[in-house]
Amino acid sequence: MIVTDGRGRQLVTSVLALSVLALAGCGQDEGSDAPPATASGSVALSPSHGGLQGGNLVLADTGGGTDGPVTVRFGEAEVECEFDDRSARHACVAPARGTPGTVEVSFASGGSDVGEKAAYTYTTQGTQDVPLLTVNTETVRSNAEAIRADFPSNVQLGAVLKNGEPVDVFGKVIEDAAEVDYIFVPKLDDAIALREAGVEAKIAVLYVAQIEDIPLLMHYDVEVAATDPAWVEAAEQVLSTTGGTLKVHLWVDTGMGREGVVPEEALPLARAVEDAPHLELAGIATHFSTVTAEDKDAIERNDTANTTVAQKNRFDGAVAAIRDAGLGQDALIHAGASDVLDQEIDSLYYDLLRVGGMFFASSPPETTLYSWTTELSQVKTLPAGWCIDYGCTEPTTAPKKVGLVNHIPSRENELTYTVGGKQVPVLLDHGTVLTLDLSEVPEAAAGDEVAIDFGAEAFHLLDATAPLPVTTTGG
């Protein structure tokens, strides 16, 4: 079922709503005649929102039947937009704006209005006042070269980039060093950044795409997940206006509880994709939840009590059902990730391996990937018997020197803190305020540098839940 949301965008009822921060009523143009929240008109914008800094591509279906250039006014700002043959829409670069809010968008060609007015919403970026993070791209490059050197020759290599910024730098370095076949990203913004950085490998968005973003997927040649027949139907309606073919990957949830249909629903979804003239089944995929060193032998024994074996059997059954029906004969089968490659479980390699964490491994202090530097904002000595943290679970047993640092967002992996060349324990972590134990660094003072890094025992995955100011070293 297709519904129209509060900003006039077509969505499928099973698709999650767009999560952006738009300040309602804040920064709205005085006297603006921007369409109300329920208006849609014949003009569709893809996307219908963007950051205050502007500069992003907006594809507009003017509904005016013109393929010549048009003038587009975003509130008080005018831009010229050329027709884009690939998406069959006009391509505009959104202008910047000073405050969040919704502006009226109008179109003109040859001095005459084209189509109906639309609305475009400017949003905040959600950045935080966090310490500068440095990425050593030479470590990424070395890892990529090592992975390619030992990679099985009959399997395609897909790089998974879920490590936050700078995704465009990561993508270029990994593509150049490892000659990857695919790059998988969690969201369309990442795919756009890769394409605009010049990445030529195939790109696929791992998770569900908004229906309104389909013209952008076509423009940037990006593949996406097919989630259910309702999404397929809605996508086909949009694609019928572009004339192109969108490649999709059918995800099967075999025991992860995340993306994908359950195995019994895989064949009906494959049929829905087959019946859609403008969709192509490019891949069939799943994600293993519990890969261990014991899995290789368990697969050989077909030990169905083993979680990975159970998932593999469900996945193989779903793939067989699809192919026995004459569908997906050329679709890539992919399921394994870095852990499968690391454990050398070749029966889970299939046609393609999605490798993520291995690109971002390091062995401090010999090699590092990410590091932060901040400084001690306060240094003090707490008396004996002094409470630390809520609940006073571990009061000090003697006077203890401590230092405070601020605005360290939580990460997927444990962080380490080094002051004066010595790693120091964390006594309290409230995110916006951390208290470090400086007992072993008696000379530490406010303003001293604190180096923040990842523990060496795990892949150094930097999630993107809290945007960070990033710079790079290593070229």
- Per-residue pLDDT at 52: 84
For the chain, the domains span 44-123, 136-360, 370-458
Alpha helices in 213-344 (DSSP H): 214-219, 229-239, 266-275, 295-301, 307-324, 338-343
- Per-residue pLDDT at 365: 67
Percent of the chain with pLDDT over 70: 84
Answer whether the bond into residue 47 is a cis peptide, omega within 30°: yes
Query: What is the per-residue pLDDT across 280-291, written as a single tens digit (0 to 9) for each?
Result: 999 999 999 999
From the options 3.90.76.10, 1.10.3720.10, 2.60.40.10, 3.40.50.2300, give the CATH code of 44-123.
Answer: 2.60.40.10
Compute the radius of gyration of the chain from its Cα atoms.
26
For the cut 70, the answer to whether the pLDDT of residue 292 exceeds it is: yes
For CA atoms 338, 341, 342, 346, give the dihedral sign: positive
Q: Which of 64-73, 137-146, 415-424, 444-453 has the lowest mean pLDDT?
A: 64-73
Place of tokens 């591509």: 57
Is residue 96 within 8 Å of residue 52, measured between CB atoms? yes
From the options 3.20.20.10, 3.30.1320.10, 3.30.10.20, 3.40.800.10, give the CATH code of 136-360.
Answer: 3.20.20.10
CATH topology of domain 370-458: Lyase, Ornithine Decarboxylase; Chain A, domain 1 (2.40.37)
Tell me the whole-structure pTM to 2 decimals: 0.77
> What's the CA gap between 354 and 160, in Å, rounded?
6
Q: Which of 366, 362, 367 is nearest to 458 (CA)?
A: 362
Q: Which of 287, 285, 290 is nearest to 307 (CA)?
A: 290
Query: What is the per-residue pLDDT across 73-84, written as a single tens digit (0 to 9) for each?
Result: 999 999 999 999
For the cut 60, the answer to whether the pLDDT of residue 1 exceeds it is: no
Phi and psi, residue 36, nearest 5°: -65, 170
What is the pLDDT averaged over residues 185-199? 94
Q: Which of 161-165, 171-175, 412-416 has the lowest mean pLDDT?
A: 412-416
Reported confidence tier of residue 114, pLDDT bands at 50, 70, 90: confident
Query: What is the per-residue pLDDT across 220-241, written as a single tens digit (0 to 9) for each?
Result: 999 999 989 999 999 999 999 8
Most confident of the following: 57-66, 99-108, 322-331, 450-459: 322-331
Q: Which residue has the higher pLDDT, 413 or 444?
A: 444
- Per-residue pLDDT at 121: 86
- Per-residue pLDDT at 467: 60
Q: DSSP secondary structure string, 101-150? A: EEEEEEEEETTEE-S--EEEEEE---------EEEEHHHHHHHHHHHHHH
> What's the CA gap between 362 and 144, in Å, rounded?
12
- Per-residue pLDDT at 134: 76
Answer whether the bond into residue 229 is a cis peptide, omega within 30°: no
**What residues contact residue 164 under an 8 Å CB cut-off, 6+ apart?**
462, 463, 464, 467, 468, 470
Reported confidence tier of residue 20, pLDDT bands at 50, 70, 90: very low
> What's the CA gap between 8 and 4, in Å, rounded?
5
Answer whether the bond into residue 166 is a cis peptide, omega within 30°: yes
- Per-residue pLDDT at 7: 34
What is the pLDDT averaged over residues 415-428? 93
- Per-residue pLDDT at 105: 94
Question: CB-side exposure of 23: number of CA atoms within 13 Å?
Answer: 13
Amino acid at 228: D
Q: Which helix (H) or strand (E) holds 190?
A: helix 188-196
- Per-residue pLDDT at 98: 84
